[in-house]
Amino acid sequence: MKRSIALILLTTMLLALTATAPRGASKEPVRARHGVAASVNEIASRVGVEVMQRGGNAIDAAVAVGLALAVTWPSAGNIGGGGFMMIRRADGATEIIDYRERAPLAASRDMYLDGKGDVVKNASTVGYKAVGVPGTVAGLALALSRHGKLKWADVIEPARALAAEGFTLNHQTARGIQGSKDLLSRFPESNRIFLRSGKPFEEGDRIVQPELAQTLARLKEKGPREFYEGETARLIVDDMKANGGLVTARDLKEYEPAIRVPLKGTYRGYEIVTMPPPSSGGAALIEMLNVLEHYDLSRMGWNSSAELHLLVETMRRAFADRAEFMGDADFVKVPVSGLISKKYADRLAQTIAPDHATPSESVRAGKPTGYESTETTHFTLIDDEGNVVSNTYTLNNSFGSGVTAQGTGVLLNNEMDDFTSKPGVPNGYGLLQGEANAIAPRKRPLSAMTPTIVLKDGKFLFAIGSPGGPTIINTVLQIIVNIIDFGMNIQQAIDSPRIHHQWMPDSVRWEPLGVNSDTRAALVKMGHTVSDKPGYIGDAHGVMVEPKTGIRLGASDPRLGGAAIGY
């Protein structure tokens, strides 16, 4: 009898572990008493920690990391792109620096259409006409001036030194350059700098970027406005004029980042603090969490066919709403309050059948009341005081437009592809987008970037974000679910395999070793279309505070070889 009871107890424990633990080994998060910097590149993460050790706070360190990644992670780290920085001060005050790129003044609604009204292939993704007005330098400078402790010259120096003295390429950075050689070879400066005029860099090579070092030196000496009104601005504009680009001196001079109030939602007693428009990420994230709150995911079991079916159906509906409603709220009316309301989620949940898929062609945007690239990168930091930064920024596609502005060493974005070139025609990520995201001068394109902070009982618990174009939103969603519903630590939650569905195309993407053949067959039987081949999704980096000890935990995604560094 005792043996039977023991067996029952053991079986119950194993079932509980099966429902909550990730499928596979995962290293422990980095543990630190003072601060952590987590990014895709170990060199940049170390820069962040060194800045905090010199007396800087998390905001100082984040600015230094962002500038360093422009040197060490050129496919997405940048000063020629844009993004969003969420800052939570130790006292709980939270704001967002929106330094998303803007459309040039010369941009027009149909600028990427031919005489027949069809979208011109690659017009919004490759070359000078794909470039939006960069916001990174202005955004990082604004964050520093509002919340930092150190001087601009102090936080830019590590990046300048890395560009001037060079660094050794790791496997991931070298692979990124080699993978984009067709794009980079089309533009003389990019070809010369990154491909050595036909001899692409390899792992273990040392890369020195003297033109970028000179640009960073000018910014160090004359301040961040030099990028928009000084010699660097002149060089960018001259290169634009010579090659048919649209960005002018006036565009650069008039660029200003915006300060945004974060969106807030709740999920099973946790507070979700996330991105408002022009990112679609925050509203879609809260909408999906509101729907999932109707179900006991932990009882279904992690990555069971029942749980994955529910995730896909929830993603499908949120991305349909994204296509219809989302855009730059400075230009169009976005029904955010309706999209993130619990009542709206109640109605959406009622449309989900537990045992069969809803074809995407039959799913249209809902009726709520009230009114982005896989090659993005994210970094997250926390300091000794408890200040937290969650930052996502991008050139859009890998190496952006492919253009390096003559004489600057600065790679320029192709962010104009994140607008709707033509309603109903997919962009570079296969996303269908609506009239709300149509091109207009000064407008910011819709993004999927979703830097997010999660609180429990008013106290910081963890911060997370990821690159990945439209997969960003679903990556952040699944990490939150992994932690809250399945009891994972932050490293396990990041390591665990993910899925992605974005309404159109109607296909479930999955990761290697993430969804076994039996589960895929069960999903197909329910009516889901599952992609034939797997592929990795996202590259998340996060920090967490261990509630009982106050120890800082750092976690970086193994998918691109990132590193969390603590002190």
What is the DSSP annotation of 331-372?
TS---HHHHT-HHHHHHHHHT--SSS---GGG----------
State how far the Cα of 453 lies from the Cα of 547, in Å rounded to an integer.
15
pLDDT of residue 327: 79
State how far the Cα of 418 lies from the Cα of 440, in Å rounded to an integer.
12
How is residue 292 annotated by DSSP?
Answer: H
Strand 452-456, strand 270-274: pairing: antiparallel
Nearest Cα neighbor of 307 from 499, 542, 27 is: 499
pLDDT of residue 426: 64
Judged by DSSP in three states, 411 sits in strand
Strand (E) or helix (H) holding 388: strand 388-394
Q: Of the listed 72, 376, 377, 392, which one is catalytic? A: 376
pLDDT of residue 26: 87
Contact criterion met (CB below 8 Å) for 197 and 203? no
CB < 8 Å & 24+ apart, contacts of 111-115: 111/439, 112/416, 112/421, 112/422, 112/439, 113/421, 113/422
Nearest Cα neighbor of 282 from 119, 450, 100 is: 450
pLDDT of residue 16: 38
CB atoms within 10 A of CB 150: 18
pLDDT of residue 11: 34
State phi, psi for 453 to the nearest 5 degrees.
-125, 140
State how far the Cα of 495 lies from the Cα of 504, in Å rounded to an integer.
26
pLDDT of residue 262: 98
Contact criterion met (CB below 8 Å) for 462 and 490? yes
Nearest Cα neighbor of 277 from 340, 330, 339, 314 is: 330
pLDDT of residue 8: 33
Q: Which residues of the chain fall below pLDDT 50?
A: 1-23, 367, 369-373
Nearest Cα neighbor of 291 from 272, 309, 313 is: 313
State how far the Cα of 75 lies from the Cα of 394, in Å rounded to an integer.
9
Beta strands, E only, 150-224: 167-168, 206-207
Sequence-separated (6 or more) residues with CB below 8 Å from residue 394: 76, 78, 81, 82, 83, 372, 373, 375, 376, 377, 413, 415, 449, 467
CB < 8 Å & 24+ apart, contacts of 172-178: 172/40, 172/560, 172/561, 173/41, 173/72, 173/73, 173/74, 173/75, 174/201, 174/202, 174/203, 174/204, 174/205, 175/203, 176/74, 176/75, 176/398, 176/399, 177/74, 177/75, 177/201, 178/202
pLDDT of residue 334: 86
Cα dist from 517 to 306, 373, 514, 532, whole Å: 15, 29, 10, 11
- CA 475, 478, 483: angle at the middle one, nearest 5? 125
Neighbouring-strand partners of residue 542 = 555
Sequence-separated (6 or more) residues with CB below 8 Å from residue 200: 177, 178, 181, 194
Q: Is 475 a catalytic residue?
A: no
State how far the Cα of 500 lies from the Cα of 538, in Å rounded to an integer.
10
